[in-house]
């Protein structure tokens, strides 16, 4: 059944329920309560035996987040956070059945994958939400290699930080020559003293500031810290796939004593280069592939620290085992790039996206549901705190006008201007774009990305070719900002 504007508006009421502010304790129908503490959600192997289909079951489960004390009730895919690592080959056609065991409707979005619009997992825009107990079959061909991820796009400001996310890897035909591959999914949880989840989702205070941060930073679903050891053999070469799946937090990582090579941003190959200034920024939603060489055996242990949290230790690099090789390796080979149509700036149309909001006196006015309002009304009556191009939109529910329309095959540049005091990791669905300039300074690598961090009061220029038809989200990946108005669409017309 095709989704019409009317369905869309009819379901808007339901969606608004999920957005009511503050929604820390929005009522849950009696038959939709999460299972009592102690029960565990079904753990299903992702690849069903004997079939090429995969089943993902978002549900309520328990997991040890902190190293001590009781386990925490979380929401996870197939019984854990992160959910199962999905690994595909380029060109493979995949079928993924999502069975919703959550106490809320949901959808799954394949962040970074260029899927057909109907498979993009955006409620009210590309599909109906998956009802409680319902299923949805996602089918698509995996076009591009790289490190991606999946997460719900419904009430994502709640569903993602409760634990619903997982990494998705598309292998290269000719993989990088490494001894081992390691995956780090970084995130956080907000827990009370008794390890119970703090359920203060949807607070306007978080929407209008840096977003809701957890108090326990996690690496692969359990507390990060010096006790998390990555043991390297002397001379060993590891490919480290990093994902920031946190709903708001950014990481600024330093690998002390080591000099890893960056080989891909957001899954897209770049010329291998050391981390600029030795500090790797991972905004919410971003990925980086590193090649880490065991070059410091016998020199003790080294911390991986996060400079966004006063150099808190994320993990420890230590040495153990037989040397992998006598002499350390040099610069790794570049990954084979995915092939995208090169944006031709000579004939590109130019577009602008201006971000305003959150208190600081701007914007004087903005539009909500087509009506001009002043800032106070936008916050008070709609619980929204940000505008993009002077429009604040509710999460999916009330999309009136796309931010802009592009014809299929159109070459386009977008200048994003951040007139706010906050950082915004901006994500476009369905396409990759080249990052041309940050704060008006041309980038050295013009890297392809799907998520780019815009500095407070900064700007960013990107270029793309609109070659995937449909209505695509363009939003801030601080999920509280997205729910607070930084949510829009770009339409690519056939």
Please say which residue, 165 or 404, places its beta carbon nearer to ligand C2O.
165
478 binds Cu ion (CB under 5 A): yes
- Work out which of 429, 431, 434, 481 binds ligand C2O, going by CB under 6 A: 429
249 binds Cu ion (CB under 5 A): no
Please say which residue, 284 or 324, places its beta carbon nearer to ligand C2O.
284
The residue range among 152-160, 166-174, 406-414, 472-480 that interacts with Cu ion, by the rule CB under 5 A, is: 472-480
74 binds ligand C2O (CB under 6 A): no
Closest CA to 289 of 271, 307, 269: 269
- Work out which of 111, 239, 394, 424 binds ligand C2O, going by CB under 6 A: 111
Query: What's the min distance (Å) between Cβ of 330 and ligand C2O?
Result: 35
Q: Are the CB atoms for 283 and 170 separated by under 8 Å? A: no
CA pair distance 6, 270, nearest whole angstrom = 44
481 binds Cu ion (CB under 5 A): yes
454 binds Cu ion (CB under 5 A): no
Please say which residue, 228 or 481, places its beta carbon nearer to ligand C2O.
481
153 binds ligand C2O (CB under 6 A): yes
Please say which residue, 213 or 429, places its beta carbon nearer to ligand C2O.
429
How many binding residues for ligand C2O (CB under 6 A)?
10
- The residues, ordered by sequence, that sit 6+ positions from 68 with a Cβ below 8 Å of its Cβ are none
Q: Containing H/E element for 5?
A: helix 5-10
Query: What's the min distance (Å) between Cβ of 389 and ligand C2O?
Result: 18
- Give the distance, in angstroms, between the CA of residue 273 and the centroid of all CA atoms in the same chain: 24
Query: What's the min distance (Å) between Cβ of 149 and ligand C2O?
Result: 7
Site for ligand C2O in 451-490 (CB under 6 A): 473, 475, 477
Q: What does the block give as tokens for 52? A: 């090429």
434 binds ligand C2O (CB under 6 A): no
303-307 contacts, C-beta under 8 A, 24 or more apart: 303/226, 303/256, 304/230, 304/253, 304/254, 304/255, 304/256, 305/253, 305/254, 305/256, 306/217, 306/251, 306/252, 306/253, 307/252, 307/253, 307/254, 307/279
> What totals of helices (H) and strands (E) does the chain contain, helices first?
6, 35
427 binds Cu ion (CB under 5 A): no
- The residues, ordered by sequence, that sit 6+ positions from 155 with a Cβ below 8 Å of its Cβ are 18, 19, 104, 106, 201, 395, 483
Quickly count: other Cβ atoms within 10 Å of residue 166's Cβ: 25
CA pair distance 99, 154, nearest whole angstrom = 14
In the stretch 20-59, what mask flags binding to ligand C2O with x, by CB under 6 A?
----------------------------------------
CA pair distance 155, 149, nearest whole angstrom = 17
285 binds ligand C2O (CB under 6 A): yes
381 in helix, strand or coil?
Answer: helix
Please say which residue, 249 or 424, places its beta carbon nearer to Cu ion.
424
Query: What's the min distance (Å) between Cβ of 426 and ligand C2O?
Result: 10
Q: Which does 427 bind (CB under 5 to 8 A by kind): ligand C2O, Cu ion, none?
A: ligand C2O
475 binds Cu ion (CB under 5 A): no
287 binds ligand C2O (CB under 6 A): no
- Work out which of 213, 249, 287, 427 binds ligand C2O, going by CB under 6 A: 427
3-class DSSP string for 247-277:
CCCCEEEEECCCCCEEEEECCEEEEEEECHH
In angstroms, how far apart are the furthest CA atoms of the chain? 69
Burial class (CB in 10 A: 0-12, 13-18, 19+), 27: exposed
Query: Can you give the binding site for Cu ion, defined by CB under 5 A?
Result: 424, 476, 478, 481
Query: Can you give the binding site for ligand C2O, defined by CB under 6 A?
Result: 109, 111, 151, 153, 285, 427, 429, 473, 475, 477
């Amino acid at each position: 059944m095709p989704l019409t504007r009317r369905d869309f508006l009819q379901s808007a009421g339901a969606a608004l329920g999920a957005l009511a502010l503050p929604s820390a304790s929005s009522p849950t129908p009696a038959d939709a309560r999460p299972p009592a503490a102690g029960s565990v959600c079904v753990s299903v192997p992702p690849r069903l035996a004997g079939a090429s289909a995969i089943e993902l079951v978002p549900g309520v489960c328990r997991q040890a987040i902190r190293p001590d004390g009781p386990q925490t009730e979380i929401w996870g895919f197939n019984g854990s956070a992160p959910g199962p690592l999905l690994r595909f080959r380029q060109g493979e056609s995949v079928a993924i059945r999502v069975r919703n065991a959550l106490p809320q409707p949901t959808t799954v979005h394949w962040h970074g994958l260029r899927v057909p619009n109907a498979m993009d997992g955006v409620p009210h825009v590309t599909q109906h939400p998956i009802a409680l107990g319902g299923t949805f079959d996602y089918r698509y061909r995996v076009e591009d290699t790289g490190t991606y991820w999946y997460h719900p796009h419904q009430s994502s400001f709640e569903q993602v930080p409760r634990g619903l996310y997982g990494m998705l890897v598309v292998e290269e035909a000719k993989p990088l020559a490494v001894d081992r591959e390691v995956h780090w999914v970084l995130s956080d949880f907000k827990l009370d003293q008794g390890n119970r989840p703090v359920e203060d989702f949807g607070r306007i205070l978080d929407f209008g500031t840096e977003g809701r941060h957890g108090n326990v930073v996690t690496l692969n679903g359990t507390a990060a810290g010096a006790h998390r050891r990555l043991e390297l053999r002397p001379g060993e070469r590891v490919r480290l796939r990093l994902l920031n799946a946190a709903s708001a937090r950014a990481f600024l990582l330093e690998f002390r004593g080591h000099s890893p090579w960056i080989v891909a941003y957001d899954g897209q190959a770049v010329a291998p280069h050391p981390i600029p200034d030795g500090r790797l920024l991972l905004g919410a939603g971003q990925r980086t592939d590193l090649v880490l060489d065991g070059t410091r055996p016998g020199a003790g242990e080294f911390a991986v620290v996060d400079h966004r949290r006063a150099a808190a230790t994320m993990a420890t690099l230590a040495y153990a085992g037989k040397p992998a090789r006598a002499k350390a390796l040099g610069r790794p080979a570049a990954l084979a790039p995915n092939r995208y149509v090169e944006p031709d700036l000579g004939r590109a149309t130019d577009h602008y996206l201006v971000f305003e909001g959150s208190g600081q006196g701007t914007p004087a006015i903005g539009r909500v549901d087509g009506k001009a309002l002043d800032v106070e009304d936008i916050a008070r009556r709609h619980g929204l705190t940000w505008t993009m191009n002077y429009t604040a939109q509710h999460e999916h529910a009330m999309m009136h006008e796309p931010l802009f329309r592009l014809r299929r095959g159109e070459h386009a540049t977008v200048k994003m201007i951040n007139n706010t005091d906050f950082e915004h990791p901006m994500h476009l669905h369905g396409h990759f774009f080249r990052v041309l300039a940050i704060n008006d300074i041309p980038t050295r690598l013009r890297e392809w990305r799907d998520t780019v961090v815009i500095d407070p009061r900064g700007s960013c220029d990107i270029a793309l070719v609109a070659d995937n038809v449909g209505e695509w989200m363009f939003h801030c990946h601080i999920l509280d900002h997205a729910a607070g108005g930084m949510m829009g669409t770009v339409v690519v017309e056939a």
